[in-house]
Amino acid sequence: MKIGIVGCAGRMGRMLVGAVLDTDGVDLAGATERAGSDAVGRDVGEFLGRRQTGRVIDTDTLRLFEVSDAVIDFTTPAASVEHAGFAAEARTALVLGTTGLSPEDEAAIRDAAARTAIVCAPNFSVGVNLLMLLAEQAAAVLDDSYDIEIVEMHHRHKVDSPSGTALGLGRACARGRKVALDEVWCKARDGQVGARPRGEIGFATLRGGDVVGDHTIVFAGDGERIELSHRASSRAVFASGAVRAARWAAGRPPGMYSMRDVLGM
């Protein structure tokens, strides 16, 4: 099958191209970048310091969707909404790992999923998705006498906070407790905030260095504390998971899918 990569010059874009090139049974359909990027016009393999692929990086994103069985997108919210429209127009599966999406962005992507298969996830690591399942199960067992805090750390360049993965973990915990996350979350504390409300799901965000992604869910009760953690040491785990999702999504009926669907959880 043929997989295309949008935003191929970014940190994740480079990893995604490499994962496609290194995966048996798939071919790189092409790769795109924004107009004005130094990457445009170069062979994508050579750009990554690898063998030439015969695939030149260009800016024609719609054409990339037309020649691909699936396209992987880890770009920006505005770009991802546009790409979802291209996916719907070309009837090409889309694997979407962009975080920081607004409710309006998510609604537009759901509309596009009425015409093509879209796998949307805050994190494509198999380990993180297992962690989300465990978090949901733990939250269902531990009642709201156990306080839930989600601590995440990423590199200094990350622009959204809390991370999409942290919010995904929060949603998993909220599902376990059968509550809506946006009714119980606390994303920041500063000053005299008073005692912690029962049932609150709190977030703590750390940024610094080149940390790929650390996430810990703390269930703090009286007399005991349970912690579930995942630490990513390489973006390769996200890239390989995204390629797995692309292979699964190609040819699927239109709809919004998650990594739970891909992994059969």
Catalytic site residues?
Answer: 154, 158
C-alpha closest to that of 71 among 21, 124, 17: 17
In angstroms, the CA 203 to CA 205 distance is: 7
Pairing of strands 201-207, 147-154: parallel
C-alpha closest to that of 3 among 258, 242, 235, 236: 242
In this structure, which amino acid lies at residue 145? Answer: S
Produce one character per residue of 55-77: b if its CB has 16 or more CB atoms within 10 Å, e if not. Answer: bbbbeebebbbeebbbbbbbbbb
219 close to 226: Cβ distance less than 8 angstroms? yes
